[in-house]
Amino acid sequence: MALLEVRNLSISFGGLKAVDSFELQIEKNQLYGLIGPNGAGKTTVFNLLTGVYKPDEGYIGLDGVDLVGKRTIDINQEGIARTFQNIRLFGQQTVLDNVKIGLHHEYPYSTFTGIFRLPRYHKMEKAMNEKALELLDVFGMADKAEYLSSNLPYGQQRKLEIARALATNPKLLLLDEPAAGMNPNETKELMDTIRFVRDKFDMTILLIEHDMNLVSGICEEITVLNFGQILASGETKTVLKNPEVIKAYLGE
Amino acid sequence: MAKLNIKKMNKNFRGQLITYAMVIIAFVVMQILIASGSVSYLLQGLMVPLCIYSIVAVGLNLCVGYLGELSLGHAGFMCVGAFSSAFFTKCMLNTGMNETVRFLLALVIGTLTAALFGYLIGIPVLRLRGDYLAIVTLAFGEIIKNVINVLYIGRDSRGFHFSMKDATALGLEEDGEVIVNGAKGIMRIPSQSTFLIGVILLLIALFICFQLVNSRSGRAIMAIRDNRIAAESVGINITGYKLLAFTISAAIAGAGGVLYAHNLATLTAQPANFGYNMSIMILVFVVLGGMGSFRGSVIAAVLLTMIPEILRGLADYRMLIYSIILIAMMLFNWSPKFVAFRQAQMEKLFGKKKKEAV
């Protein structure tokens, strides 16, 4: 059974059908790409998957659990974590604290315990620090744990967002244009990181991207959206040769 | 890696200790000055209000600086805390209850009632953001004050009587007693607030706030402030943590109100003490002291309450100088050039770079 199954998903804003009869099937451990011209509805799909928008109709199933109508925080608990197109970090907190906020549910203790520093507080904080540093280490940022997250260079802010999303221990990771604003070297490094994350955490990843090198380099399958509708989907190489896709997106 | 963390914890903890030490030293110095008779009677009377304002400012800072929500209704929560505790004290006055126990119970009741109001008001109000939240909290503050102004509660052998009309409408028996007398408020409350109690309460408020913001819940609260959408995406319960911070903030304001009620013999809900101006004044302490800095709130509350009194001799020029001091403090705290200058001086003085402590 597919890990993520989306059937007949539609939403309209006013008279505009932003996403129309969207279908998607992602197997466990797959690296899946979602591409399309600007305004095609890619981020809307992400917002539908994470419960930011409620779909007009359709089914979203993660591991057999119906996610339609659930709140964003519950969907996160079910196992979908995401990053954002325009980076959204907790800018006034340290890099370490950003990841620790992602670990919020994994190492719980009550507010009372926190205020009065009961033994559980020390136990949980210690475990949390270790886990957070471990995650940061994966991204080569453990030495920057004490930096204010807004002071990080752009590429590392993107990585920190991924680390924070991973901290919530998701089954499916959604990356919204992870390579936006990166130079070719950084993009290449990012590709390695994404592959590494997939292998190390046994993660399933769905990503939106405009950088064709990245998409053709790491995605096993892709879906192309145009005006809210699926133009083509399937194996990356085949889809990118599809004449209609070339016409709509890549240019003739 | 582990070392980094220890260093960080120590830094947080050190900032906390410095603040406690400052409060205690200020208290000891003032006590010595009072004992040696070099403090005017007027200034002596200012000691408890100083604690009250500091406490409420610390509480409001939790809401404004850490949760990032502007509340203009904290005087309303002070008012609730003051009246509920004063009401309790009046009811228990002739029961022969130990005075200390009675005061402690009044403190608990005042704080909890304010927390309850904070919670109930928070449920609808925290769905709003920014200017709207400010306007609605402002309205709630005024509503609380005005409701208390038309509230009459009396007691006689048959029990309690309530009225929203006037004292005679209570229909009390001959030996009945009017406890809350509308706009005249509650009279003859035993004055039990002392400078020592005020300082202890301030330390407790600081302790709770410091420990809270340096814990899991505190991180969640700050995550909501920094980026609500991202906080939601990592599974932080926005409504829950907003309510938590707002309720604690209201409870601390309520504790300040309890001190206020037991500092004066007569408690009335006037615009001057529980009105809009009070809320704004506390907000000024918070903003000038630095949002997100509890120590700053205390310093600002103390300085800005003392200055008008010290300048009383200058009569008409008093408020003029007060405003100049406000502007100077604002520059000192926030102007980038001044902050850089300040840090450079610190570097010179201590020979190494000193980071801004929390």
A93 with B222: Cβ contact below 8 A: yes
| Nearest chain A residue (CA) to B234 | A102
Tell me the pLDDT tens digit for each residue of A33-57. 999 888 889 999 999 999 999 999 9
Residues of B in contact with A92 (CB under 8 A): 222, 225-226, 292
Boundary (domain end) residue, out of A133, A168, A203: A168
Same domain? For A175 and A210 the reply is yes
pLDDT at B77 over 70: yes
pLDDT score for B345: 83
pLDDT score for B105: 96
pLDDT at B162 over 60: yes
pLDDT at B356 over 60: no
Same domain? For A39 and A66 the reply is yes
pTM listed for this prediction: 0.90
**The complex's ipTM?**
0.92
Question: How open is the CA angle A210-A215-A220, to the nearest 5 degrees?
Answer: 145
Boundary (domain end) residue, out of A168, A199, A216: A168
Smallest Cβ–Cβ distance between A97 and the set B208, B211, B219 belongs to B219
A84 with B218: Cβ contact below 8 A: no
CA distance B338 to B170: 61
B2-350 folds as ABC transporter involved in vitamin B12 uptake, BtuC (1.10.3470)
Same domain? For A179 and A63 the reply is yes
CA-wise closest residue to B208 among B177, B249, B176: B249
Contact criterion met (CB below 8 Å) for A206 and A50: no
Contact criterion met (CB below 8 Å) for A61 and A80: no
Residue B309, CA distances (Å) to B45, B264, B322 in order? 11, 18, 10
CATH number of the domain encompassing residue A49? 3.40.50.300
CA-wise closest residue to B90 among B180, B182, B192, B194: B180
pLDDT score for B72: 92
Residues of A in contact with B233 (CB under 8 A): 50, 72, 76, 81-82, 84, 88, 165
Q: Give residue limits of the domains in chain B.
A: 2-350
Taking the CB of residue B303, how many other CB atoms lie within 10 A of it? Answer: 16
- Whether residue A75 is contained in a domain is answered as yes
More confident site: B159 or A57: A57
- Whether residue A161 is contained in a domain is answered as yes
Same domain? For A174 and A75 the reply is yes
**Beta-bridge mates of residue A34:** A208, A223
CA distance A20 to A225: 10
How confident is the prediction along chain A (252 residues), in pLDDT tens digits per residue? 789 999 999 999 988 899 999 999 999 999 999 998 888 899 999 999 999 999 999 999 999 999 999 999 999 999 999 999 999 999 999 999 999 999 999 999 999 999 999 999 999 999 999 999 999 998 989 999 999 999 999 889 999 999 999 999 999 999 999 988 888 888 998 999 999 999 999 999 999 998 888 999 999 999 999 989 999 999 999 998 888 888 877 665
Q: Which two tokens stand for residue B342?
A: 């300040």
CA distance B315 to B308: 10
Residues of A in contact with B251 (CB under 8 A): none
- The rounded percent of chain B whose pLDDT value lies above 90 is 54
Confidence of residue B1 (pLDDT cuts 50, 70, 90): very low
Same domain? For A22 and A142 the reply is no
pLDDT score for B199: 96
Distance of CA B199 to the CA centre of its chain: 13
pLDDT at B7 over 60: no
Tell me the pLDDT tens digit for each residue of B100-136. 999 999 999 999 999 999 999 999 988 887 788 889 9
Same domain? For A154 and A31 the reply is no
Which of the residue ranges A37-41, B28-32, B250-254, B259-263 would you say has the lowest mean pLDDT? A37-41
Same domain? For A55 and A125 the reply is no
Same domain? For A143 and A178 the reply is no
Range among B121-125, B178-182, B240-244, B324-328 rated most confident: B240-244
Same domain? For A49 and A121 the reply is no
Same domain? For A247 and A133 the reply is no
- Show the domain range for A119: 93-168
Same domain? For A145 and A43 the reply is no
pLDDT at B270 over 50: yes
Number of domains, chain A: 2
| Nearest chain B residue (CA) to A167 | B234
Boundary (domain end) residue, out of A130, A146, A168: A168
pLDDT at B357 over 50: no
Backbone phi and psi for residue A50, each to the nearest 5 degrees, phi listed first: -95, 5
Same domain? For A75 and A8 the reply is yes
| Nearest chain B residue (CA) to A104 | B216
